[in-house]
């Protein structure tokens, strides 16, 4: 009587990250970092003008709100970039929704033959083509 070999455990293979998704994640991440820095600079400028006692001119409550919104949007976009980098399905869905919004915006403006519309359309098709890599 021969013993049956025990099956070997093989860990699941992580999905491969397409080069285009990696590039997109890095570019989106850089954009998010720029928005975060911009929001922080606006907020720091408001704090400096109030701390130094300089007349606030344009640095009122509206500017504070704008700086805070830019900062929060930057954090959200940075989170989206991390989701794209880790091939998360929610990040793919949000990116596709954003690209669709851009396509509709260009379409309503009648700018079908513009660089922005063409790039958004190519990005939309590419994201649909690589959707199987996302989990």
> Could you tell me the pTM of the whole model?
0.76
Nearest to 37, CA basis, from 70, 76, 69, 81:
70
Cβ atoms within 10 Å, residue 112: 11
Q: How far is CA 105 from CA 3, 28, 70, 86, 98, in A?
A: 67, 20, 21, 29, 10
Cβ atoms within 10 Å, residue 43: 17
Q: What is the pLDDT of residues 83-135, one digit of tens each?
A: 999 999 999 999 999 999 999 998 899 888 889 889 999 999 999 999 999 98
């Amino acid at each position: 009587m021969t013993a049956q070999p025990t099956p070997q455990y093989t860990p699941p293979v992580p999905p491969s990250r397409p080069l285009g998704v990696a590039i997109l994640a890095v570019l989106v991440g850089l954009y998010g970092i720029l928005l975060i820095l911009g929001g922080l600079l606006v907020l720091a400028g408001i704090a400096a003008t109030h701390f130094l006692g300089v007349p606030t001119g344009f640095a009122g409550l509206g500017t504070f709100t704008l700086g805070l919104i830019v900062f929060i949007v930057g954090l959200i976009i940075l989170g989206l970039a991390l989701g794209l980098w880790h091939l998360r399905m929610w990040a793919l869905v949000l990116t596709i929704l954003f690209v669709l919004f851009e396509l509709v915006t260009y379409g309503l403006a009648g700018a079908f033959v513009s660089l922005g519309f063409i790039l958004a359309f190519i990005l939309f098709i590419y994201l649909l083509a690589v959707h199987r890599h996302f989990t």
